[in-house]
Structure 1
Amino acid sequence: MKGIAVGIVLAIVGLILWLTTKEVETPVVSLHKAGLVLAIVGGAEALFALLGLGKKANK
Protein backbone atom coordinates (compact mmCIF):
# COMPACT_ATOMS: atom_id res chain seq x y z
CA MET A 1 0.00 0.00 0.00
CA LYS A 2 2.90 2.35 0.75
CA GLY A 3 4.34 1.87 -2.74
CA ILE A 4 1.08 2.90 -4.35
CA ALA A 5 0.92 6.09 -2.29
CA VAL A 6 4.54 6.99 -3.03
CA GLY A 7 4.00 6.38 -6.73
CA ILE A 8 0.91 8.57 -6.84
CA VAL A 9 2.66 11.38 -4.97
CA LEU A 10 5.66 11.21 -7.33
CA ALA A 11 3.38 11.26 -10.35
CA ILE A 12 1.46 14.29 -9.05
CA VAL A 13 4.64 16.23 -8.21
CA GLY A 14 6.10 15.31 -11.59
CA LEU A 15 2.99 16.48 -13.44
CA ILE A 16 3.00 19.77 -11.54
CA LEU A 17 6.66 20.34 -12.40
CA TRP A 18 6.12 19.36 -16.01
CA LEU A 19 3.13 21.62 -16.50
CA THR A 20 4.43 24.71 -14.69
CA THR A 21 8.15 24.96 -15.46
CA LYS A 22 8.40 25.22 -19.25
CA GLU A 23 10.14 28.60 -19.25
CA VAL A 24 12.30 28.05 -16.15
CA GLU A 25 15.96 27.50 -16.97
CA THR A 26 18.38 25.99 -14.47
CA PRO A 27 22.11 25.45 -15.03
CA VAL A 28 22.12 21.68 -14.52
CA VAL A 29 18.83 20.09 -15.52
CA SER A 30 15.58 21.28 -17.08
CA LEU A 31 12.81 21.17 -14.48
CA HIS A 32 10.32 20.54 -17.29
CA LYS A 33 12.10 17.32 -18.29
CA ALA A 34 12.71 16.30 -14.68
CA GLY A 35 8.99 16.63 -14.00
CA LEU A 36 8.17 14.36 -16.92
CA VAL A 37 10.64 11.76 -15.68
CA LEU A 38 9.20 11.94 -12.15
CA ALA A 39 5.67 11.50 -13.48
CA ILE A 40 6.66 8.43 -15.50
CA VAL A 41 8.62 6.87 -12.63
CA GLY A 42 5.80 7.57 -10.17
CA GLY A 43 3.22 6.02 -12.46
CA ALA A 44 5.38 2.95 -13.00
CA GLU A 45 6.00 2.55 -9.28
CA ALA A 46 2.29 2.78 -8.50
CA LEU A 47 1.49 0.29 -11.25
CA PHE A 48 4.09 -2.24 -10.08
CA ALA A 49 2.96 -1.89 -6.46
CA LEU A 50 -0.62 -2.49 -7.56
CA LEU A 51 0.42 -5.55 -9.56
CA GLY A 52 2.36 -6.88 -6.56
CA LEU A 53 -0.68 -6.40 -4.38
CA GLY A 54 -2.76 -8.36 -6.91
CA LYS A 55 -0.25 -11.23 -6.95
CA LYS A 56 -0.36 -11.46 -3.15
CA ALA A 57 -4.16 -11.62 -3.21
CA ASN A 58 -4.09 -14.58 -5.66
CA LYS A 59 -1.91 -16.73 -3.40
Structure 2
Amino acid sequence: MKGIAAGVFLAIVGVILWLTTQQVETPFVSLHKVGLVLAVVGGAEALFALVALGKRAGK
Protein backbone atom coordinates (compact mmCIF):
# COMPACT_ATOMS: atom_id res chain seq x y z
CA MET A 1 0.00 0.00 0.00
CA LYS A 2 2.94 2.33 0.68
CA GLY A 3 4.23 1.88 -2.89
CA ILE A 4 0.86 2.81 -4.35
CA ALA A 5 0.67 5.98 -2.25
CA ALA A 6 4.24 6.97 -3.15
CA GLY A 7 3.58 6.40 -6.84
CA VAL A 8 0.38 8.42 -6.83
CA PHE A 9 2.09 11.24 -4.92
CA LEU A 10 5.00 11.33 -7.40
CA ALA A 11 2.60 11.33 -10.32
CA ILE A 12 0.57 14.21 -8.89
CA VAL A 13 3.68 16.28 -8.14
CA GLY A 14 5.03 15.50 -11.59
CA VAL A 15 1.85 16.57 -13.35
CA ILE A 16 1.74 19.79 -11.33
CA LEU A 17 5.36 20.56 -12.24
CA TRP A 18 4.76 19.65 -15.86
CA LEU A 19 1.72 21.90 -16.17
CA THR A 20 3.00 24.93 -14.27
CA THR A 21 6.68 25.30 -15.19
CA GLN A 22 6.70 25.59 -18.97
CA GLN A 23 8.14 29.10 -18.92
CA VAL A 24 10.64 28.59 -16.07
CA GLU A 25 14.28 28.46 -17.15
CA THR A 26 16.89 26.76 -14.98
CA PRO A 27 20.61 26.37 -15.73
CA PHE A 28 20.81 22.58 -15.91
CA VAL A 29 17.44 20.89 -16.44
CA SER A 30 14.01 22.03 -17.44
CA LEU A 31 11.47 21.71 -14.63
CA HIS A 32 8.88 21.00 -17.29
CA LYS A 33 10.79 17.86 -18.34
CA VAL A 34 11.49 16.85 -14.73
CA GLY A 35 7.76 17.03 -14.05
CA LEU A 36 7.02 14.75 -16.98
CA VAL A 37 9.64 12.23 -15.82
CA LEU A 38 8.27 12.28 -12.26
CA ALA A 39 4.74 11.71 -13.54
CA VAL A 40 5.81 8.72 -15.63
CA VAL A 41 7.94 7.21 -12.85
CA GLY A 42 5.18 7.74 -10.30
CA GLY A 43 2.61 6.10 -12.53
CA ALA A 44 4.92 3.14 -13.16
CA GLU A 45 5.63 2.75 -9.45
CA ALA A 46 1.94 2.77 -8.60
CA LEU A 47 1.23 0.27 -11.37
CA PHE A 48 3.98 -2.13 -10.24
CA ALA A 49 2.80 -1.85 -6.63
CA LEU A 50 -0.74 -2.73 -7.74
CA VAL A 51 0.53 -5.72 -9.70
CA ALA A 52 2.57 -6.93 -6.71
CA LEU A 53 -0.46 -6.49 -4.46
CA GLY A 54 -2.57 -8.49 -6.89
CA LYS A 55 -0.01 -11.29 -7.01
CA ARG A 56 0.09 -11.49 -3.20
CA ALA A 57 -3.70 -11.57 -3.00
CA GLY A 58 -3.85 -14.36 -5.58
CA LYS A 59 -1.66 -16.70 -3.55
In structure 1, the residue matched to 2:20 is 20
In structure 1, the residue matched to 2:44 is 44
RMSD: 0.2
Q: TM-score, normalised by structure 2?
A: 0.99
List gaps (5 residues or longer) in structure 1. none
Shift of 1:5: 0.1
Shift of 1:6: 0.1
For this pair of structures, how many residues does the alignment match? 59
Amino acid at match of 2:34: A
List gaps (5 residues or longer) in structure 2. none
Q: Percent identity?
A: 78
Q: TM-score, normalised by structure 1?
A: 0.99
